[in-house]
Structure 1
Amino acid sequence: MGRRSRKRAANPIAPPVPRDESRTSAPVAAPPRPAPRTATYKSRREDAPQPAWAPFPLTELAILLSIVLLGVGFFTHDATRGVLLGGGFVLVTLSAGELALREHFSGYRSHSSLLAGICAVLAAVPVWLLPVPQELVLVVGAVAFFGGLALFRRAFMRRSGGVGFRA
């Protein structure tokens, strides 16, 4: 079978006739302005916020030290085990929390859930130490988490130009 051909029109449409610009009194439209740069969902490495101690990798060294403390504490079975594990957990929480705060409030990446989780733990631990029912500890932690999540998300959207999250 051969290809079917379309029926062609008898009178093809003539190309448009160029207009004489000197006879028209309409103003010439200005070229369109480029659109303003909108916020993107992808963060770039060069936009990462620098800490005050920028050339010195203090945050990275603190995370490395906390990994070493956690590793040594995990494999140690004497009286210093609790101190090593506790120090490792506190140090990694502080250093990762500092990095998350810096990136979140500069609009680089959203860490709303992590920061809200830290707020929930900070709010629930003092209540846990009191002689109150454990359900109250859960309620205090949940209220702190969801309240912090809403506030941190709104703060990130303000800083990032309306983007709710960035990867």
Structure 2
Amino acid sequence: MGRRSRKRGGPSPVSAPAPSAPRAARASRHRAPTKEAPKPPWAPFPLVEVLIVTGLVFVVIGLVMGDGQGRTVLGFGIAVICVASLEVAIREHITGFRSHSMLLALLPTAVAVAISWFAAELTAVVRLGITVAVFLISFLALREVFRRRSGGLSFRA
């Protein structure tokens, strides 16, 4: 048998059909390009990154110390990381860049859980009901905020 020849390089005579324009446009709307990310007011200075690294340093120091004071340092490091991450999530959500509705709905829910935990004589069922109600109301409100800011999208990754 002889060798078969094949073309190399150049365009193939039968190319795959291009995706339809509406589908391609729809796919690009649901993917948030990094270059469109909202800039913070302190844009040239990487404040969020500095806070996260600082929080990580405190977490490591707290883990190494190990005693009661080490737990305090560990908790402070985790709190600093959470605040920095929360700032990014709020900024991206409010500007319509990416949806963080569920993550941001956890903040008022955590406050409601803390208040209901220390409230006098609430049963577990009432606490659960309050927690679920606060989460659902916050989630739906935050989703509507994102929908208005993103031009009608309810989710954008």
Please indicate the TM-score interval, normalised by the length of the shorter structure.
0.7 to 0.9
What TM-score does the superposition give when structure 1 sets the normalisation length? 0.71
User: Do the aligned partners of 1:128 and 1:137 also contact (CA within 8 Å) in 2?
Assistant: yes
CA RMSD for the aligned pairs? 2.0
The CA deviation at 1:134 is 5.4
* Residue correspondence of structure 1 range 1-167 to structure 2 within 5 A: 40-133=29-122, 135=124, 136-167=126-157
Mapped partners of 1:68, 1:107: distance in 2: 32
Task: Evaluate the alpha carbon distance shift between residue 137 and residue 162 of structure 1 in structure 2; reply closer, same or farther with a 3 A threshold.
Answer: same
Aligned length: 132
What TM-score does the superposition give when structure 2 sets the normalisation length? 0.75
SS of aligned partner of 1:118: helix
Counterpart residue identity of residue 128, structure 1: W
C-alpha distance after superposition, 1:89-125 (max 9, x if no partner): 2212211111101000100000000000112112221
Looking at CA atoms only, which structure, 1 or 2, has the larger radius of gyration?
1
Unaligned runs of 5+ in 2: 1-21
Counterpart residue identity of residue 137, structure 1: R
Identity of aligned residues (%): 33
SS of aligned partner of 1:123: helix
User: Do the aligned partners of 2:63 and 2:71 also contact (CA within 8 Å) in 1?
Assistant: no
Higher share of residues assigned helix:
2
Unaligned runs of 5+ in 1: 1-34
